[in-house]
Structures are given as C-alpha cells and as structure tokens.
C-alpha cells in the first residue's frame, strides 16, 4: 500500500468532498419522523496528516431534526469514530506498523506525530476488538477467501484497484459505518 496519501493534502480535500456528498444525501433524506434536518456541525481537531491540512478549519458534518431533535451524523471517510487521528492515519499507520520495526518504526512515529504506544494500541484494536464488532461480523463475508491477519494490512490488500489513492478511498468508504452510530436511525 502506497503511503504517499498520508502526505498529500489533495487527497484529504477529496475525502472532505466525499463526506460533503454523503452529508447532502443524509440531509435530503430528512428524519424518519418527517422533520427537517438542520446543520449541527461540531469542531474537530484532527491529528496526523499533512501540516497544511491540519491547519484548516475542521468540522464534523452533522444534522439535528427540527421536530424530534435527534442528531444525524453521516458516515465519514475522514474520521474513524471518535478517534482524534484522521482515519487515513489510523488505517495506514496501523498497516505499516506490522511491516516496520526499529529505526523505520521510529521514523514513522516522528513523521506522523503518533506515539509508538498509540500505534500499539491501534494494532491491538484492529486484531482483537475490530474482528468482534457487529460491523465486521456482518461484512466479512464479502471477502472470499477470508481476509487473513494481520488487520488492517490484510483488509487493504483485498481492495484491488491499482491506483493507491482509489484503493485507500475504497477502504475508507468500506469502514465509514464505523464513524457514526446515528446515521440511519
């Protein structure tokens, strides 16, 4: 997997556009109670990614129903749940963590400003908690033969688009349901 996406600000702009398109779909669908969804964005301070991107204004696209007041936060390819690091960083750094050791691992940690203990925690999440999530239990059958460990490198390898940015984008779209629990309530 090409790791140049971690440093390319244009890729993060593309991910922002994917999120905006999904948010527009959620807003157009409205609330299940029949109410209208109004913008209820909230600020995020993402870590990781290129410095140029981190310095921009970041908000998580979200909506609130004018009738029942329920929050509707669309799926995101930029954020992976409540983690403070960008989803791209969590995914690629975790995949690279398995292939690197020693000096190269230290360089990865310095470049991404991610402590090694955080990388190790992500590694444990991918290989112990993630396989037990209802999301993975329901979606793992889409991959035949089954995805082999270690995750997420084994998962990334299953997306076979030749363009590395498109491959990463596909993987992030696949994982997007993990970014929210309120879409589709």
Contacts of 89 (CB under 8 A, 6+ apart): 6, 47, 48, 49, 112, 114
pLDDT level of residue 170 (50, 70, 90 thresholds): very high
Contacts of 160 (CB under 8 A, 6+ apart): 167
For strands 63-65 and 37-39, give the pairing. Answer: antiparallel
Q: How open is the CA angle 4-167-94, to the nearest 5 degrees?
A: 60
What is the spatial distance between Cα 73 and Cα 32, in angstroms, rounded to a whole number? 14
Query: Does position 141 have pLDDT exceeding 70, yes or no?
Result: yes
pLDDT, one tens digit per residue, over 93-123 is 999 888 888 899 998 888 888 899 999 999 9
Side-chain half-sphere of 93: how many Cα atoms within 13 Å? Answer: 29
Query: Is residue 162 classed as helix, strand or coil in its secondary structure?
Result: coil
For strands 71-72 and 37-39, give the pairing. Answer: unpaired
Instruction: Name 64's bridge partners.
Output: 38, 71
pLDDT at residue number 56 = 67
User: Between residues 11 and 72, which one has the greater pLDDT?
Assistant: 72
Query: Which of 85, 76, 83 has its CA nearest to residue 180?
Result: 76
How does the average pLDDT of the chain come out, rounded?
87
User: Between residues 9 and 95, which one has the greater pLDDT?
Assistant: 95
The model's pTM: 0.85
């Amino acid at each position: 997997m090409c790791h140049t996406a971690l440093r390319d600000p244009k890729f993060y702009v593309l991910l922002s556009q994917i999120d905006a398109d999904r948010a527009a779909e959620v807003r157009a669908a409205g609330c299940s109670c029949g109410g209208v969804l109004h913008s209820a964005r909230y600020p995020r301070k993402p870590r990781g990614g290129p410095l140029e991107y981190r310095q921009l204004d970041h908000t998580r696209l979200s909506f609130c129903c004018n009738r029942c007041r329920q929050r509707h936060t669309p799926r995101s390819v930029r954020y992976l749940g409540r983690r403070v690091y960008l989803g791209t960083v969590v995914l690629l750094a975790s995949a690279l963590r398995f292939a690197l050791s020693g000096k190269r691992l230290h360089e990865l940690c310095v470049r991404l400003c991610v402590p090694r203990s955080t990388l190790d925690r992500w590694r444990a999440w991918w290989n112990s908690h993630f396989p037990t999530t209802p999301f993975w239990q329901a979606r793992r059958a889409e991959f035949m033969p089954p995805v082999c460990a270690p995750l997420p490198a084994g998962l990334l390898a299953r997306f076979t688009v030749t363009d590395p940015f498109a491959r990463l984008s596909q993987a992030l779209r696949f994982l997007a349901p993990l970014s929210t629990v309120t879409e589709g309530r």
